[in-house]
Amino acid sequence: MASITKRKRSDGTIAYRADIRIKRKGVIVHQESRTFDRHALAKAWGAKRELELQEIEVYGEQKSVLIKDLISQYIERFVDNYGRSKQADIKRLTNYDIANIDAYKLKVSHLMNHCIERNKVAQPQTVQNDVIWLRVIMRTMRDVDGHDYSMDVFDDATIALKREKLIAKSNRRERRPTSLELWRLSRYFAKREGTIPMLRIMWFAIYSTRRANEACRLLWSDNNDQKATGMVRDLKHPKKKKGNNKRFKYTQSAWKIVQKQPKVDERIFPYNSKTICSYFADACEMLEIHDLHFHDLRHEGVSRLFESGLQIEQVQLVSLHQSWTELKRYTNLRPENLIA
């Protein structure tokens, strides 16, 4: 048992010091002490600490690794496998209080509190990404470095987080530009043709269903002029991106736009995709077109392909979606546009 010693401080207040000494064969092998304001606290700490020391003696030194260290190690080894946005999501986790928690002591309450705080500034769909990435990082680093902390806390936390609506799946976006909006945007870009041919790029995005960053990576050398096909290198994929190169079919209208591009670079559209999205957003603001993003043009393109009568497997040859589950998220059909 820890010995409790009562003593008076220099300011006249009473303090209680708990001393722990462990001897083996008459030799002190461990010694530590702490001072408290109350006798009960000193006694409780002594009992708790002696029990911890006994557990260490029986089971070995308790393992410990901070979550922020796991994140740093994951970034160093694996972050290059992901795009810029996911890299930013992972690195941002080190800024939160949960990063300072010991992975071996992570509790449901830690995850709950993290999500409660994050919901003050972010949507539940965004907060869910935090939980997903924490789970991925901890599981990966556990397997890589031989840690044996439990992952069960995530299963228990997810149930509570969903119940309290602190996390949620992304809402399905169904925004498509109207014919009037496309006409107004076309007139706007036609009058402002600068270093980036936004009119041509906007319609190429619709006809080809390519994302902005995909369009800006297309190479002349990857085109097959006889078959009117191209290749998207490092195609977006939840698990594999690097080296995920896929060939796609240009629609007739998309192919015509490509043929109008000057061959001044190895890329067909040698522009910055972020600048393209920014110009598009500025145009929408100037024209008072609300809640329309450049990425919505991909939705428009996929929907048009279905409305023209193409089957799922035919649309996939253009859009390069891996499955119908993925493809239907981009499919917002209008009954009046279906071909009878």
Express each pLDDT in 287-310 by its tens digit: 999 999 999 999 999 999 988 888
pTM over the 0.85 mark: no
The yes-or-no verdict on residue 59 having pLDDT over 50 is: no
| Cβ atoms < 10 Å from Cβ of 287 | 14
Q: Which of these, 138, 141, 117, 140, lies nearest to 127 by C-alpha position?
A: 117
Run of H or E including 88: helix 84-92
Mean pLDDT of 101-124: 93
CB 31 within 8 A of CB 21: yes
| List of residues 6+ apart from 92 with CB closer than 8 A | none
Express each pLDDT in 179-227 by its tens digit: 999 999 999 999 987 789 999 999 999 999 999 999 999 999 999 999 9
CB 135 within 8 A of CB 151: yes
Distance in angstroms (rounded) separating the CA atoms of residues 46 and 138: 34
* More reliable by pLDDT, 333 or 260: 260
Write out the two tokens for 214: 């995909």
**pLDDT band, very low/low/confident/very high, at 62 (cuts 50, 70, 90):** low
The yes-or-no verdict on residue 51 having pLDDT over 90 is: no
Express each pLDDT in 239-288 by its tens digit: 566 668 899 999 999 999 999 999 999 999 999 999 999 999 999 999 99
Residues 264/267/272/278 CA torsion (nearest 10 deg): 90
Distance in angstroms (rounded) separating the CA atoms of residues 85 and 105: 29
Mean pLDDT of 94-106: 93
Beginning with the edge strand found earlier in the chain, give each strand of the sheet holding 27-36 in spatial order.
3-8, 14-24, 27-36
Fold of the 179-337 domain: hpI Integrase; Chain A (1.10.443)
Percentage above 90 pLDDT, the chain: 56
Write out the two tokens for 210: 């390519």
**pLDDT band, very low/low/confident/very high, at 112 (cuts 50, 70, 90):** very high
For the chain, the 3-state helix, strand and coil shares in percent, each to the nearest 5, are: 55, 10, 35
Write out the two tokens for 241: 């991106």
Report DSSP state, residue 318.
H
Run of H or E including 286: helix 273-286
The reported pLDDT for the residue numbered 56 is 64
Which of 68-72, 172-176, 205-209 is predicted least confidently? 172-176
Residue ranges of domains in the chain? 3-59, 67-163, 179-337
The yes-or-no verdict on residue 145 having pLDDT over 60 is: yes
pLDDT, mean over the chain: 88
The reported pLDDT for the residue numbered 60 is 53
